[in-house]
Amino acid sequence: MNKKLLAELKEKLEKQKTSIEGQLEKFAKKDEKLKGDWDTQYPKTNGGVGSQALEDAADQVEEYVNLLPIEHSLELRLQNINSALDKIKKDRYGKCEKCGKKIPEERLKIYPEARMCTKCEK
Ligand SMILES: [Zn+2]
């Protein structure tokens, strides 16, 4: 792989890393807040404030449940990005982790954190 492309991909990866970490930070904070709200919401709804309080609590639970897979996939992407950046450092970037062949540059341009070639990914 030529150095220019490698530098471009590295920059892309670093940008993605910053962006994902920013998103995860929001989730983490939100997560904390939701946990805090759990304790305060339940006594309120049990106290019979009405169906609105119950709905609000249900919404929050739903939001939390919806966020979990997103958070998980962001974490996974971050892991792949970190691993790709590590490989760039060690001069091992662009090789398939399974078959050891070169990952096509076209694939890396679209998906720079790819760990495997298209064949092995399937
Ligand atoms: Zn492969």
Q: Tell me the CA–centroid distance for residue 24 and ligand 1, in Å.
A: 30
Q: Tell me the CA–centroid distance for residue 33 and ligand 1, in Å.
A: 43
The alpha-carbon radius of gyration of the chain (Å, integer) is 21
Q: What tens digit of pLDDT does each residue of 45-98 get? A: 444 556 777 788 888 788 777 877 888 888 899 999 999 999 999 999 999 999
Q: Tell me the CA–centroid distance for residue 122 and ligand 1, in Å.
A: 10
Q: What pTM was computed for the model?
A: 0.71
Q: What tens digit of pLDDT does each residue of 88-100 get? A: 999 999 999 999 9
**pLDDT, position 56:** 82
Stretch 19-38: mean pLDDT? 64
Number of Cβ within 10 Å of residue 75's Cβ equals 13
Strand partners, 95: 102
- Collapsing DSSP to helix, strand or coil, 115 comes out as coil
For the chain, the distance separating the N- and C-terminal CA atoms, rounded to the nearest angstrom, is 24
Q: Tell me the CA–centroid distance for residue 109 and ligand 1, in Å.
A: 17
How far apart CA 18 and CA 83 sit, in angstroms, is 15
